[in-house]
Amino acid sequence: MPTNILMPALSPTMEKGNLAKWLKKEGDKVKSGDVLAEIETDKATMEYEAVDEGTLARIVVPEGTQDVAVNSVIAVLAADGEDVKAAASATPEPKKAETPKAPASSFETRPAAAPQDEGKLPSQPTQKPIPRPEEARSAVSKGAGPGSAAAGKIFASPLARRLAKEAGLDLSRVEGSGPHGRIVARDIEAAKSGKGLRTAPGTAPALAAVVGAPAMTDQQILGLYESGSYDSVPHDSMRRTIAQRLTAATNSMPTFYLTVDCELGKLVAAREEINAAAPKGADSKPTYKLSVNDFIIKALALALQRIPEANVSWTEAAMLRHKHSDIGVAVALPFGLITPIVRQAEMKSLSAISNEMKDLAARAKAKRLKPNEYQGGTSSVSNLGMYGIKDFTAVINPPQSSILAVGTGEERAVVRNGQIVAATIMSCTLSCDHRAIDGALGAELITAFKKLIENPVMMVV
């Protein structure tokens, strides 16, 4: 019988993807391991390999299609000896939301969570007219329905409660659109964008503050500007993912910050000497060229090894203490941000780190990274020094527990032996998840980093 080829989940959080290109056409023979298509996620473009053998009988989703739901049928494969035309005319069975199952492939895939109790959800939440302040206050004070806080008990589906908890939403603020005012999943999705939210008594909607959602609805924001005075650029999947992850991190992760100033005199001298001694390759170009950021990656990796209690990830059940330092490095892209990871950075030479980062950054900009090259990690580096930024704080990328924000190296006046002299100083700020790293432990980590960055010879000992 025909085999349905489903849209794979290429990451734990993937719910939709773009079918960028078909590499096989209808009627082509397919062998296990053949690349069928290129799937574009929010972070990368992945090759999707066939598992079964047969003939590609029908392409259900044409290339270039955006926002294809995970586990939806994208093609039909006829088995060897099977009538291809009959297989092509067969109606693909729709996926069942209750038991999503991604097809096996050459890389590990995990299906994104699917709603289990809501039935079919509309692609766009129903937009309700914006109530006037006095109407909103009246509705809340009277108790708009069984789903309201005023009714004493909040009626919401289990899925809606879980989604609200993940988004940091107060269910008493959410308007229910289900039977008898019950709050369902689509209400939570609408609430994340500021729609369908009740206003607290005595508070105007424009001033409503909801954790995990903007204080104003889209309609209210648009009402502040004249039509034609702006261009509306829809969010792509990467920008939405960045917003969701960083909002979740900010709402759920208690964070504190530690800042140190590092002298770069010895590092700059060592970098110049090492680069000058780099051997030439077949093209007569140096085989490596170290940057200051390469030293920073190595120093953070070694500091985490020296303070292993800080090389951790928080889970509700246990602390994960990592054996290696896998350092994510923020790379700015025209369409967003991604953090490719240098695995086991503490064991690699500076030249190896330099060349690996150049390769990762180039493939990141081409959206050619594999999921395992940007997921996980134990800590990260975000360097804005090249933009002339003196110091800043960075948002931790879960499940990591720390991130180092690096400013520019600049000449500043310092006091040495009672004399004011000029020195090249770089400010670094460590953001720490207080659930996993206490203040004194964070101070030990950034102090270890400072010692290494100011004495780069210690990185090779």
pLDDT, average across residues 190-200: 64
Cis peptide before 308 (omega within 30 of 0): no
Structure tokens at 233: 């650029």
What mean pLDDT is reported for the chain? 81
**pLDDT (0 to 100) of residue 195:** 63
pLDDT digit string (tens) for 91-139? 665 544 444 444 333 333 333 344 344 444 344 444 444 444 344 334 4
Is residue 294 within 8 Å of residue 354, measured between CB atoms? yes
**pLDDT (0 to 100) of residue 414:** 93
Q: Can you list the domains of the chain with their CATH numbers?
A: 3-89 (2.40.50.100), 133-222 (4.10.320.10), 253-460 (3.30.559.10)
Q: How confident is the model at residue 322 (pLDDT cuts 50, 70, 90)?
A: very high
How would DSSP label each residue in 358-424? Answer: HHHHHHHHTT---GGGTS--SEEEEE-GGGT---------TT-SEEEEEEEEEEEEEEETTEEEEEE
Judged against a pLDDT cut of 50, whether residue 150 lies above it is answered with no
Structure tokens at 231: 């261009």
**pLDDT (0 to 100) of residue 196:** 61
**pLDDT (0 to 100) of residue 93:** 56
Q: How far apart are CA 182 and CA 169, in angstroms?
A: 16
Least confident span in 111-115, 211-215, 317-321, 346-350: 111-115
Q: Check residues 100 and 431 and name the one with the higher pLDDT.
A: 431
Question: Alpha helix (H) ranges present in 307-371?
Answer: 350-365
Least confident span in 145-154, 270-279, 322-331: 145-154
Of 34, 73, 77, the residue nearest 58 (C-alpha): 77
pLDDT digit string (tens) for 12-31? 667 888 888 899 888 888 88
**pLDDT (0 to 100) of residue 91:** 62
Question: Among residues 235, 322, 324, 434, which one is catalytic?
Answer: 434
Whether 434 is catalytic is yes
**pLDDT (0 to 100) of residue 210:** 39
Q: How far apart are CA 153 and CA 173, in angstroms?
A: 13
Is residue 116 within 8 Å of residue 100, measured between CB atoms? no
Full-model pTM: 0.63
**pLDDT (0 to 100) of residue 200:** 45
Q: What is the Cβ-side half-sphere exposure of residue 139, based on CA atoms within 13 angstroms?
A: 24
Percent residues over pLDDT 70 in the chain: 80
pLDDT, average across residues 146-161: 63
pLDDT digit string (tens) for 202-257? 333 333 333 444 457 887 888 888 888 888 888 877 787 788 878 878 888 999 99
Structure tokens at 3: 């085999």
Strands 402-416 and 379-383: parallel
